[in-house]
Amino acid sequence: MAYIRNIDTDEIRDGFLVTSNRKKVWNKLMEILVEIDRICQKNSIKYFAEGGTLIGAARHRGFIPWDDDIDITMLRPDYEKFKLVAPQELAAPFALLTAYNSDSIFTIGKLMNLETAAIEYMEATHHQGIFIDIWPFDDVPDGSQRCGEVWDIRQSLIGAIMNPNGLLHEMEKGLQYKPSNDFIKSFILLSPRDRFREYEKFCANHFGESENVGYPFSKIMGIKGNLKADYYRDVTYLPFEGIKVPVSAEYEKVLEAEFGDWHKFVRSRSFHEVQYMSADISYTEIQSKINHALKKAEH
C-alpha cells in the first residue's frame, strides 16, 4: 500500500529535495509502523512517536523532509510485553531483532522488513533491512537517593555488558562498582546475552520508582532535558503521512525537554549512519553479491 503521496515523483518539501527513492524508503517505514500499531492495538500495548518522528508529526504532519527513519518509544513494561508477543504476531517479511537474535543490537529493538536493505554494519551477520527503532524508556535519576543507587547499579551492569575487560581493569586499579566488585565479577562470567537478560530484568523490576523516564544513553543522542514519567501517562494522536500516530499528550513538553526550540529547522545527519539503504533490494541479495565478488577476487 502507498502511504506516501506521489511516491514515484521527486518533490521539494520545506526547501529540501525529497527523491522518489527516499519516498520508497518512507513507504516501507510506514508499512512497518502500521504493523507495529496493529500488534500494539491488539495486545493493549502503549507506544509513542519519539525524537525526529515526533518533531515530524508536530511540525510537518509527516516525515521531516531530510529524515530517513522512524523512532518510537515504549515504557519498559510495554516494551517487555511487546518483545513477548511480537514474534508470534509477525509474519514475513517482518521480524523483530533484539540483543537475543542479532550480533550487534543492544538496548533497543528493531522491527524490520527483511525484503529491504539498511546496512549499518557491513561485518554483521544478522539481517539488516529497513527498520524502526523501538526505544525502551526506563527510570532515570530524579534526584532521590534511591533512584541514584539504582542508576549506579544499572550503569555497572551495562558497563559489564559493553566493556567487561575495561571494568575488570578499573577494578584492578581500585575502582569500586555498585553493588560490589565481587558481584560484577560474577556477573561478567555470564554469557553476553545472559548478562543483558539480567540487565533488562533489573530495569523492569525497578521501573516506576522515579519521577523521570528516558533512554539511558539519551545524552549520547543529544537529548537535553529530563522527561517526566507523567508525560507518558496519556496518549493523543497527531497526523503523520495520512495516518494518525500516538504521541504523548504532553508532547510539546517532551519536545521542549529534548530539543529546546523544536519549531526551528535544523538539518542534521541521521543518528544511524546507514551505509546503504534500499527499498527494492534485500540485504540477503546484497550480501550474496558481495560474497560472490569476494570469491572472484580471491581467484
Q: Which domains are assigned to the chain?
A: 11-138+214-298 (3.30.460), 143-209 (no CATH)
Residue 258 makes CB contacts below 8 A (sequence gap 6+) with: 51, 223, 224, 225, 227
Q: What's the confidence (pLDDT) of residue 294? A: 54
pLDDT on residue 1: 78
> pLDDT (tens digit, 9 = 90+) per residue, 206-252?
999 999 999 987 755 556 668 999 999 999 999 999 999 999 999 99
By the 10 Å C-beta count (0-12 exposed, 13-18 middle, 19+ buried), 79 is classed as buried
- Indicate if the alpha-carbon torsion angle 241, 246, 249, 250 is positive or negative: negative
From its phi and psi, is residue 242 left (phi > 0), alpha (psi between -120 and 50) or beta?
left
> Which residue positions in the chain have pLDDT lower than 70?
105, 219-225, 268-273, 290-299
Predicted pLDDT of residue 275: 74
The 10s digit of each residue's pLDDT in 118-132 is: 988 777 788 889 999
Pairing of strands 16-18, 11-13: antiparallel
| Predicted pLDDT of residue 276 | 82
Per-residue model confidence (pLDDT) at position 19: 95
Contact status, residue 132 vs residue 72, Cβ threshold 8 Å: yes
